Amino acid sequence: RAVDLGGRERVLSQVPGALSDVSRDGSVLITTGSRRSGIRGRAPGENEERELSWLEGSAAVDLSPDGSQLLFGEMMEGGGVSGRIYLRRTDGSPAVHLGDGYPLGLSPDAARAAVRLYGRTGLTILPTGAGEALTIATGGVNIWRARWFPDGRRLLVGGWRGGLRAITPEMTGVGAVSPDGEWIATIGDDGHFLYPVDGGERRPLPGLELDEWPMQWSADGTSLYVRREGDLPMRILKVDVRTGRKETWKELMPPDRAGVVWMDPLVTPDGRGYVYTYHRLLTDLYLAEGLR
């Protein structure tokens, strides 16, 4: 649109994209962009990463402790209006469609998935094989994330509103459940802490910066895998929960780096397997002349 000094508007052109700049002679720069996300990972016992994307909007949500099964969603055009939930083996076998909605967490034995099904309220537990779905009332809590406890009988959920018992204060991430199921490692507005599941005083987590997010406990419960928010390549640290001593565990980046703007990794407790979602934004720049 053009606007004259009297405030009157008129349409110059209707084209896809966004106006980036206008020159004195009336030429304009227009940008168009395309977004997609994909998944790459390395299964335990393998030496090379493999592409695990399914359609153009694949996003990894959870990885089984043995690294063999990946729970992910399709959230862009391939996911339709509702989103689609899939399970896939990290050996590259075809993905299995579990339902429509949003995936939240995979049980330790990979036999069940916690999901939000499209058009339903509450939390749904879907079997990944034969079996019946189970709906769990959530007391009005709007759930956006879930993690299974190692015993496979309890879920740690993140959400807002409602009447479920809170373990952490407001504005705290879901975090990572310790191998013994007794502690939650997470970050909040005032730093990193260990929260006891059964209640009581929280403990500070030493050595972590505000841009470092706990992802996963090590299998022996002595360390945390931590991601550096915004890092490209994605840098994953291993941090001792008692001393705060850090070491770089791995740096991750897809082979084609073009347009990668953000990454989200998942790691197995023993560190033998991992996957990561990469988000890619590609833009084209056009010059338009002669608009009047």
Residues 72-121 have pLDDT tens digits of: 999 878 788 889 999 999 999 999 999 999 999 999 999 999 999 887 77
* CA 199 to chain centroid: 28
What token pair was written down for 225? Answer: 């895998």
More confident of the two residues 36 and 18: 36
pLDDT recorded at residue 163: 55
Residue 110 near residue 68 (C-beta atoms within 8 A): yes
pLDDT at 187 over 90: no
pLDDT at 257 over 50: yes
pLDDT recorded at residue 15: 76
Cα–Cα distance, 275 to 278 (Å, whole number) = 10
User: Whose CA is closest to 85, among 60, 64, 102, 106?
Assistant: 102
pLDDT recorded at residue 168: 59
pLDDT recorded at residue 167: 59
What token pair was written down for 68? Answer: 């063999």
More confident of the two residues 58 and 229: 58
Q: Tell me, yes or no, if the pTM score tops 0.85.
A: yes
Residue 84 near residue 97 (C-beta atoms within 8 A): yes
Residue 88 near residue 70 (C-beta atoms within 8 A): yes
pLDDT at 173 over 70: no
pLDDT recorded at residue 171: 46
The confidence band for 185, taking pLDDT boundaries of 50, 70 and 90, is very high
Cα–Cα distance, 213 to 222 (Å, whole number) = 16
Omega before residue 233 within 30° of 0, cis: yes
CB atoms within 10 A of CB 247: 9
pLDDT recorded at residue 279: 97
Cα–Cα distance, 143 to 159 (Å, whole number) = 4
DSSP SS3 for 78: helix
The confidence band for 2, taking pLDDT boundaries of 50, 70 and 90, is confident
pLDDT tens readout for residues 195-253? 999 988 999 999 999 899 999 999 999 999 999 988 899 999 999 999 999 999 999 99
pLDDT tens readout for residues 134-166? 998 887 777 888 999 999 999 988 876 655 556
